[in-house]
Amino acid sequence: MPLIVMCGYPCSGKTRRAEELKVYFEQSTERKVHIVGDGALGVEKNSVYADSQKEKNVRASLKAEVERKVNKDDIVILDSLNYIKGYRYELFCLIKHAQTPHCLVYCLTSGEQSSSWNTSRDAAEQYTQDIFDALVLRFEAPDSRNRWDSPLFTILKDDTLPFEAISDALFKRKAPPPNQSTQSQPLSSANFLYELDKITQDVLMAIFNAQKTSVPGDLVSVPGATEKIQLTRSVNMAELRKLRRQFISYTKMHPTENTGQISNMFVQYLNKSLH
């Protein structure tokens, strides 16, 4: 169901806050809570964050794991740096596609405080100073004015988590509406693509054959359409095929429930494109 995205410097308390949220939601709801994080992947973080390709692969793996676990019932907490705003936008697109709410919990600390917490860890758990400094330098702070960073809960090191407000953000808000870039468009019928291909090809052949005997300005009837093509000029097959490809690409994203309308839609598209 909802997604909670943790965000902050290395060693800013994200994992502790994620565990607090897990305990709260398990006690206050009957939902399962999944924490997805770097630790579950078993990666050596200094090695990963020293290599941009490895880091990219880890982010992709985390995103894929979130996508697998997001459903209508469970809560997913992504416990990672999530320091790149473009990556947070990708997560926003993911939850739009899943049609579930999300929020961002930003563990705000100073670089000095996080560095101190880093050096107090066991040696095997520490970031090297070079990697730590590089991650702090690259960090892109969330901004509540960005829809992918909103609602945003900024938490200082001594703050108590606003559990009720976070809960309201997840359960009392509507999911962001999907758009054409995130929503999978179901085909209207099992043979939709076949009908689309066949009908548009038939229209092209009708135009091509009609041009052999017609003159500019004639109206051309095409199979299955009540509307007619108005040929104001001679059109070669290469141009017609290009327009057909464009129409097919558009129609795949906006499938009609009535395949009988495809001919008329294509005729309207051609009349608009050719004039």
Q: What is the mean pLDDT of residues 117-130?
A: 94
H-helix segments, 120-256: 129-138, 163-171, 192-210, 237-253
Query: Tens digit of pLDDT for each residue in 93-104?
Result: 889 888 899 999
Query: pLDDT band at 108, cuts 50/70/90?
Result: very high
59 or 43, higher pLDDT: 59
Q: Dmax over Cα atoms in the chain, in whole Å?
A: 87
Query: Using CA atoms, how far apart are residues 5 and 36, in angstroms rounded to an integer?
Result: 10
Q: In the predicted model, is pLDDT for residue 182 greater than 60?
A: no
Residue 1 is predicted with a pLDDT of 67
Residue 10 is predicted with a pLDDT of 96
Q: In the predicted model, is pLDDT for residue 106 greater than 90?
A: yes
Does residue 211 form part of some domain? yes
Q: In the predicted model, is pLDDT for residue 82 greater than 70?
A: yes
Q: What is the mean pLDDT of residues 60-87?
A: 91
Query: Tens digit of pLDDT for each residue in 4-35?
Result: 999 999 999 999 999 999 999 999 999 999 99
Q: Which of 204, 260, 253 is nearest to 231 (CA)?
A: 204
Q: Are residues 25 and 128 in the same domain?
A: yes
Beta-carbon contacts of residue 88 (< 8 Å; ≥ 6 apart) = 5, 7, 82, 104, 142, 148, 149
Residue 251 is predicted with a pLDDT of 80
- Listed residues 142, 171, 200: the one ending a domain: 171
Q: Are residues 112 and 15 in the same domain?
A: yes
Query: Using CA atoms, how far apart are residues 109 and 152, in angstroms rounded to an integer?
Result: 15
Q: Are residues 111 and 226 in the same domain?
A: no
Query: Using CA atoms, how far apart are residues 33 and 113, in angstroms rounded to an integer?
Result: 29
Query: Using CA atoms, how far apart are residues 51 and 90, in angstroms rounded to an integer?
Result: 21
What is the pTM for the complete model shown? 0.65
DSSP 103: E
Identity of the residue numbered 201: Q
Q: Are residues 95 and 33 in the same domain?
A: yes
Q: In the predicted model, is pLDDT for residue 150 greater than 90?
A: yes
As for how many domains the chain has, the answer is 2
Quick check: 197 and 187 in contact, CB under 8 A?
no
Q: What is the mean pLDDT of residues 108-130?
A: 94
Q: Which residues pair with 78 in a beta bridge?
A: 5, 36
Q: Are residues 166 and 203 in the same domain?
A: no
On average, the pLDDT of the chain sits at 87
Q: Are residues 39 and 136 in the same domain?
A: yes
Containing structural domain, residue 201: 192-274
